[in-house]
């Protein structure tokens, strides 16, 4: 499938998901309304407007920052086993699949990143909760339809691959998405 076909397919899914999103917005509240096709603060578009980032879904696992540790209450999952049993919604798009994979393989990165899509109204604690239920044993469907969640994760992945510390990654995430109207998750700062 070429880029234009993917974009057309994506638009159809976004339009088809509009009704479901409206119902979710009514059920969860206005804070969830930030979770739309808008990718960067002040812009609207499709996944094709996303910054260039690695999107492979191969087995290569990128290293995490040397001092990375899990926040209190976050459990590490058997990523290989969980990935093998991933549900269909994880496979929605290549970038979405890449973000899910990175999140389950690197909770020591993603759990320190806040999410700015408004999912704090869903009791999410960090960007990791957009991918995994809080107990860490099941996939969360939220990121499969929220480009903001996916962008935050892939930005973190890209910055870690560049050798940035968790604090530097967090500062970039906050500066990039922190100016929007949606509240962020109440996520602790990573250790220095």
Per-residue pLDDT tens over the stretch 25-78: 433 443 444 564 443 333 323 332 233 333 344 444 445 554 467 777 777 778
Q: Which of 100, 173, 83, 113 is nearest to 143 (CA)?
A: 100
**Range from 62-66, 106-110, 127-131, 148-152 carrying the lowest mean pLDDT:** 62-66
- CB-CB contact of 190 with 166 (8 Å): yes
Distances from the Cα of 6 to the Cαs of 13, 79, 178, in angstroms?
10, 28, 29
What is the model's pLDDT at position 92?
Answer: 81
pLDDT digits (tens, 9 = 90+) for 134-188: 777 799 999 999 999 999 999 999 999 999 999 999 999 999 999 877 789 999 9
16 or 177, which is more confident? 177
- pLDDT number for residue 155: 98
User: Which candidate, 124, 165, 156, 155, places its Cα nearest to that of 141?
Assistant: 124
What's the pLDDT at 78? 84
The domain locations on the chain are 3-46+65-177
Residues 92, 62: Cα–Cα separation, whole Å = 22
**CB neighbours of 159 closer than 8 A, spacing ≥ 6?**
168, 169, 172
pLDDT higher than 90, residue 9? no
Phi, psi of 25 (to 5 degrees): -60, -40
Confirm whether pTM is higher than 0.75: no
DSSP character for 37? S
């Amino acid at each position: 499938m070429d880029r234009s076909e993917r974009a057309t397919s994506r638009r159809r899914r976004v339009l088809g998901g509009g009704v479901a999103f409206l119902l979710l917005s009514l059920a969860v509240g206005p804070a969830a309304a930030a979770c739309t096709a808008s990718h960067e603060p002040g812009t609207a578009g499709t996944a094709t407007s996303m910054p260039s980032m690695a999107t492979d879904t191969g087995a290569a696992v990128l290293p995490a920052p040397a001092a990375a540790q899990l926040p209190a209450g976050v459990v590490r999952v058997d990523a290989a086993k969980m990935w093998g049993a991933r549900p269909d919604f994880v496979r929605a798009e290549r970038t979405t699949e890449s973000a899910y994979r990175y999140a389950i393989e690197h909770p020591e990165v993603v759990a320190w990143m806040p999410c700015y899509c408004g999912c704090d109204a869903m009791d999410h604690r960090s960007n990791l909760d957009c991918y995994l239920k809080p107990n860490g044993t099941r996939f969360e469907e939220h990121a499969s339809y929220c480009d903001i969640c996916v962008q935050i994760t892939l930005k973190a992945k890209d910055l870690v691959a560049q050798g940035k510390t968790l604090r530097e990654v967090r500062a970039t995430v906050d500066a990039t998405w922190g100016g929007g109207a949606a509240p962020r998750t109440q996520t602790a700062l990573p250790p220095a």
